[in-house]
Structure 1
Amino acid sequence: MNSAVNRLRTPVLLLVLYFAFEVFNRYTFGWSLPLATALLVAIIYNVIRKEHGNHDFIPQTARARVTYDVLRVLIMALLAVSLILGHHIHIGGSTYAGTMAENYIEPYSWFDAIAFICIFFVLILAERTISQIALTYCSKAKTVPAKTISSIPLRPFLIASAIVLALWLPYLLTYWPGLIFGDTLSSFNQMFSGTLSNHHPVAFTLAMKLCVQSATAIGFGRTTGIALYTIAQMSFMALCLGYLSIWFIERLGVRRRFVWLPVALFGLSPYIATYSIALWKDPVFSCCICMISTLLADAVLSEKGITSRLQTVSLCFFSLIAMLFRNNGAYIVLALILLLAVASIVIHVRKKSLRYVSILLPLCISLVAYGVISGPAYSALHVTPTEKVESLGIPLNQMARVAALNGDMSDSDRAYMNSLLPLDQYKDKYRPTCTDMLKWDPEFNAEPLNNDFWSHWVSMLIRNPRVYFEAWEMQTFGYWTVNVPAAALHTTNIDGGVPRNVHPEHEIGFDIASHNLLGSETFRIALPLSSYSISGGMVFWILIAACLILIRYKKWQWMLPLLPLLLLYGTLFVASPIWYWPRYIFAAQLAIPVVIVLVYRAVFDSKSTGTPDSR
């Protein structure tokens, strides 16, 4: 009997593996390739068989192992849930203006429960297999000595920055004086009317105004002034990415001649190059967040915090500019300060150490400076505050979905929703994946948002929790799913802003004109505005995986450089105005080299490795 069971064990296991992988493929990729699945199952089974009983991990206490296992199971379960949710999101129309009939959530079924088990099983197996392969490689590789955290050499940094800038110049000449969007026109209107609004950050508007005034003062026109701002933005971005290129190679300990790899990536990528000339607030903001993560990475890698005056000034500068150039920057810096303050208190109580004070100080200085600028200084300039509706994207859409579906509402809730927009119009004007069409509707009245908004939001939440969750899904899925084609294969980042440079039917005005200084339209074909980038959902799960690896290698504090990026996602998860726009998470995409360095150092540094123990 036992012999028969043993003979059946292998084919049954292979069958189970094959079924689980087939379900995983269908939910994740939407297709089935039997031969590819069979090959993958054979590889996984072979690794499992060879590694059976070999549960090598770095030395950890029993408590640390339990913590890691709990986190691993939780993260894999959440990823499995995201794959199932994403599998049911149907995008059949415009992801900006599509109606409920076009963009919706397909009904769930009993098979989704089986799919969850299969997907979770595959994810756990994949994580285990990758871990075993990595551990096998690490055990055979030579021990890598811990690398010192030295300053970045000035000359290579400047050369790398200059090369990146030079590679971007053809885009500027082709789309002179820079890519102009509807948001840009709003800033132009403020610049030339004298009425300032923080709907689009005042710092961004005033920076362009300064460039225009400088150009006109020496006899040039407004178009040249806007080009001057674009050049300044390109130079700032090139300096940040040139620094990141050298930093990446130095911190990995790779020979410096390989710096051409990140330089080529940053300089030749159409996705990044178009950002360098995009007259949005996002390019400068994103580079600042990326540089904050880079500075924090040096602080944790050195284990001494911020040690130089230049780093202190840089952290203060980048934090302040990030807050001034995008409104959610203040929330990111404030949350970072609060988290660091709590961590500092805990570490001080346990180890009598004040490690994070050197990081907290410049962050607090920048926050105070921002408070002064956005408070008294903006008041002196008579700056109109940002409209409240701009920070209520998801909550407003959740309430609108309830009204559109004629959900459960009290008489007070109905009256409140009717005061925003006539109740009979929500069904036609509600858009599942974007709030803009609703808040910009001529009949939408934003005034009631200032009175009792949150009390009605809670009241409707209690009555319609599922509808609220579905509204949140449709408003944010691009930032956490990896299996919705509309997000995973998104290429219309720049085109989504309708650049006036290539849409002549939309006028620019203000005595500003767009030109192709290279003359031939061939250059516009060779330098496209649409390009693929790694999706926001993929980047999010890369960050989560990096955190899990750092925890596994007992590098909890090394997650600090990832906090600004995760907090950036957090602001989108609670107040996103649209299902997905890559420019909102551009900072996280740029900071992937920081993630790579942290994971590499955690795994390979001699301080992090050790003799595996039995689990």
Structure 2
Amino acid sequence: MAKEHNGVKMMLMERVNKSGVMEWRTLIPVLLGIMFGLGDGVANAEGRLPLNNVSLYVRMVLFAALFVVAFNACRLFLGRRREARAAALDLSVDSDENALIDYRWSCRSLTKLWAIILVCWLPYVVTLFPGVYWSDTSKQLLEHYGVEPFTDHHPFALTYLFGWLADLGQALFHNPILGLYILVVIQLLTAPALLGGIVLYTRRLGLSRLACHVQLALFALFPVFPVMFTSLAKDTLSVLFFIPFCLLFVEIVRSKGTICSKPWVVPTLLVMSLLTCVTKKPCVYIVVPALIMVCVMQLTKKARAFMAASALVVAVIMMVIMPKVVMPALGVQPGGKQETIPFAIQMVAHDVKYDPEGMSEADKKLVSDFLTIPYDQIAEAYDPVIADPVKGTSLKNPDLMGDFINLWLRKTIEHPAGHFEAWLGLVQGWFSFRNTDGSPSYMVVCTESAWYYDPITELVPQWPKTAVASGTARAIYDAEQSIPVLNVLFFRAWWASIVPFFLLYLAMRPGKGKFRRLVAMMPVNMSFAYLLLTPVSGMGGEPTRYLLQLICVLPLFLAAALAEQHGQEQGMTDRL
């Protein structure tokens, strides 16, 4: 009788524990809903939260309910009966053997997918010739030509590369733009192969042919891909190295490090890690933590040592050797320190605009001496959705950084709600379906090079303010964006927060291994954390650049999470 009582007690405790896990996991869509309510509330011209208006709290409740229902509906759909799951995640390659579109792991299959994606991209490639060049690219060319000081504000290695290619274009074609277009062509040839590789790899992880068809259609038909890879910026280049890094990262986690015994794996991982960071400096805060965290997982001793060594090498090269040795030797000046504290500057500017009485004369003098913008112009220049008008591109006196940080901390204690409001204004594009003007918060892409720094058109008269058929490219893009249901893919928030939060929701499912699953999605976790520190999310094309790496790799991590959830992964180490 006692044994029976103890058995019932243990069963009840197990059920309570499982119920508790589910309740905790439900907090993920609830938190997302609260952030969407706040993001929607701050999406107004003044960037102010209506804290005294009941509509703000109704928004939070509605969005929380929406995401709880949506996440649970997806969970139930993915957790349908075992027979249906087995059919959906059939790992057999027999069905691929005689199919027109072959997802077997082979060079032939990869070539087919590469060709399909590239052909689908051709309308944008043709209409956007000779490429789309961002303002940052023009600024780097101005540095190359000696008009602007040569700094590491943008990665100096890329500045050298852009300059060399511009000179090559001038020497060969009497047109610097055609030299830069060589790099665009390399992007257009490489990106479809990498995206096709993701499809083949996720098939091996357990994705069904139907799911692979959908994934291939996304890569081939979603217009953000061809438009962005016909553009030239640090983000479009960096992601070409970030994708292989993520593929290797997922396989190392999945194989528990056994793949590291292959002689090519660790050197390739290290090279991809370095190139990702060299071409886009913030990626060091994504790559290094991911490599460090994977060391705490259950890996082979050799793999753990390799991961720790790789993280150390990348950190030392990017944080010590590059700034302390290479840049001084080349005469490259460091980038402005203001880029490390855009939120602090925006929050203090918020105080200047909305609480000027709280700023003492000493505070005003400190702000004026620290920033390049005069204190009395900050209130007018303040824009709630972007830090650049106040932050600028340099500091008047960088030595006052410590004093300014102390001012920011003091004001944060005095006005935490105001500073939260200032931060939310900068990130609301990741947590909202509408812009401050009420329009949909879609991803904006550039189909012309009309945004540039002067005097680039004097130094490069061929600067393509408009492409061959920019209007046609824009019309095609707008038509695809207007398709009902599919237009959800064009929302910034879909890629920035909704899919990452759903991945977190999957990782926190009941059962053992939650920490391991969180570590397995570290590149996504850190990319999301990086978005929370960007100084603009709700205007122009900049947010689209920031999102590009997540758009490219989220299908990979989603497929890996689903395969691991259903316990039908198969080893690939012997196949690679």
Partner residue, 1:11? none
What are the within-5 Å matches in structure 2 for residues 442-453 of structure 1?
Answer: 445=396, 447=398, 449-453=400-404
Partner residue, 1:600? 562
Q: When the two structures are superposed, what TM-score results if normalisation uses the length of structure 2? A: 0.79
The correspondence for 1:236, drawn from 160, 167, 190, is 190
What are the within-5 Å matches in structure 2 for residues 111-510 of structure 1?
Answer: 120=64, 123-124=67-68, 127-128=71-72, 130-132=74-76, 134-138=78-82, 141-142=85-86, 152-193=105-146, 196-216=150-170, 218=172, 221-255=175-209, 261-304=214-257, 306-307=259-260, 308-341=262-295, 343-344=296-297, 356-370=304-318, 371-407=320-356, 408-419=358-369, 420=371, 421-440=373-392, 445=396, 447=398, 449-482=400-433, 489-491=440-442, 493-495=444-446, 499-500=448-449, 508-510=457-459
The one-letter code of the counterpart of 2:38 is: L
Shift of 1:144: 8.1
Partner residue, 2:9? none
Identify the range of structure 1 (505-514 vs 208-217) with the bigger mean alpha-carbon deviation: 505-514
2:43 is paired with a residue whose SS is strand
Q: Distance in 1 between matches of 2:160 and 2:454?
A: 28
Query: Number of residues paired by the alignment?
Result: 531
Q: Distance in 2 between matches of 1:482 and 1:517?
A: 30
Partner residue, 1:560? 519
Shift of 1:393: 1.5
Shift of 1:433: 0.7
The one-letter code of the counterpart of 1:415 is: K
Identify the range of structure 1 (172-181 vs 271-280) with the bigger mean alpha-carbon deviation: 172-181
- CA deviations on 1:288-334 (whole Å, 9 max, x unpaired) are 33332222222222233543333323321221111111121122223
Whether the 8 Å contact between 1:90 and 1:106 is mirrored in structure 2 is no
- CA deviations on 1:495-518 (whole Å, 9 max, x unpaired) are 4xx843699999633235156999
Partner residue, 1:108? 52
Q: Residues 129 and 208 from structure 1, CA distance in 2 versus in 1: closer, same or farther, beyond 3 angstroms?
A: closer
Identify the range of structure 1 (271-280 vs 477-486) with the bigger mean alpha-carbon deviation: 477-486
Q: Residues 403 and 318 from structure 1, CA distance in 2 versus in 1: closer, same or farther, beyond 3 angstroms?
A: same
The one-letter code of the counterpart of 2:426 is: Q
1:605 is paired with a residue whose SS is coil
Q: Residues 595 and 432 from structure 1, CA distance in 2 versus in 1: closer, same or farther, beyond 3 angstroms?
A: same
Q: Distance in 2 between matches of 1:471 and 1:215?
A: 44
Shift of 1:261: 4.9
Whether the 8 Å contact between 1:245 and 1:263 is mirrored in structure 2 is yes
1:108 is paired with a residue whose SS is coil
Shift of 1:248: 2.8
The one-letter code of the counterpart of 2:491 is: S
Q: Residues 67 and 301 from structure 1, CA distance in 2 versus in 1: closer, same or farther, beyond 3 angstroms?
A: farther
Q: Distance in 2 between matches of 1:122 and 1:410?
A: 45
Q: Distance in 2 between matches of 1:373 and 1:434?
A: 29
The one-letter code of the counterpart of 2:564 is: A
Shift of 1:574: 3.1
Q: Distance in 2 between matches of 1:502 and 1:575?
A: 20
The one-letter code of the counterpart of 1:65 is: K
Whether the 8 Å contact between 1:389 and 1:446 is mirrored in structure 2 is no
Q: Distance in 2 between matches of 1:77 and 1:521?
A: 42
Q: Distance in 2 between matches of 1:373 and 1:68?
A: 46
Q: Residues 75 and 378 from structure 1, CA distance in 2 versus in 1: closer, same or farther, beyond 3 angstroms?
A: same
- CA deviations on 1:174-208 (whole Å, 9 max, x unpaired) are 33332122211111112222953211111222222
Give aligned-pair identity as a percent: 17
- Structure 1 residue ranges without an equivalent (≥5): 1-58, 93-99, 609-615
Q: Residues 361 and 133 from structure 1, CA distance in 2 versus in 1: closer, same or farther, beyond 3 angstroms?
A: same
Q: Residues 268 and 416 from structure 1, CA distance in 2 versus in 1: closer, same or farther, beyond 3 angstroms?
A: same
Shift of 1:368: 3.5
Q: Distance in 2 between matches of 1:329 and 1:377?
A: 19
Partner residue, 1:91? 44
Whether the 8 Å contact between 1:176 and 1:515 is mirrored in structure 2 is no
Q: Distance in 2 between matches of 1:502 and 1:459?
A: 38
Shift of 1:597: 0.9
Q: Residues 73 and 522 from structure 1, CA distance in 2 versus in 1: closer, same or farther, beyond 3 angstroms?
A: closer
Shift of 1:563: 1.4
What are the within-5 Å matches in structure 2 for residues 529-608 of structure 1?
Answer: 532=481, 533-539=489-495, 540-552=497-509, 554-556=512-514, 557-579=516-538, 581-606=543-568
- CA deviations on 1:454-505 (whole Å, 9 max, x unpaired) are 111111111111110000110111123356687993346234xx84369999
Shift of 1:246: 2.2
Whether the 8 Å contact between 2:43 and 2:436 is mirrored in structure 1 is no
Q: Distance in 2 between matches of 1:464 and 1:490?
A: 29
Q: Residues 536 and 67 from structure 1, CA distance in 2 versus in 1: closer, same or farther, beyond 3 angstroms?
A: farther
Partner residue, 1:44? none
Q: Distance in 2 between matches of 1:607 and 1:84?
A: 38
What are the within-5 Å matches in structure 2 for residues 515-534 of structure 1?
Answer: 523-524=472-473, 527-528=476-477, 532=481, 533-534=489-490
Q: Distance in 1 between matches of 2:70 and 2:128?
A: 46
Whether the 8 Å contact between 1:76 and 1:124 is mirrored in structure 2 is yes
Whether the 8 Å contact between 1:241 and 1:266 is mirrored in structure 2 is yes
The one-letter code of the counterpart of 1:427 is: A
Q: Distance in 2 between matches of 1:291 and 1:385?
A: 29
Q: Residues 486 and 561 from structure 1, CA distance in 2 versus in 1: closer, same or farther, beyond 3 angstroms?
A: farther
Shift of 1:131: 3.9
- Tell me how large the CA RMSD over aligned residues is: 4.0
Q: When the two structures are superposed, what TM-score results if normalisation uses the length of structure 1? A: 0.74
Whether the 8 Å contact between 2:151 and 2:334 is mirrored in structure 1 is yes
Whether the 8 Å contact between 1:188 and 1:510 is mirrored in structure 2 is no
Q: Distance in 2 between matches of 1:109 and 1:522?
A: 43
Q: Distance in 2 between matches of 1:602 and 1:190?
A: 48
Q: Residues 146 and 373 from structure 1, CA distance in 2 versus in 1: closer, same or farther, beyond 3 angstroms?
A: farther
Q: Distance in 1 between matches of 2:15 and 2:424?
A: 38
Q: Distance in 2 between matches of 1:518 and 1:112?
A: 44
Shift of 1:434: 0.6
2:532 is paired with a residue whose SS is helix
Identify the range of structure 1 (452-461 vs 291-300) with the bigger mean alpha-carbon deviation: 291-300
Q: Distance in 2 between matches of 1:570 and 1:483?
A: 22
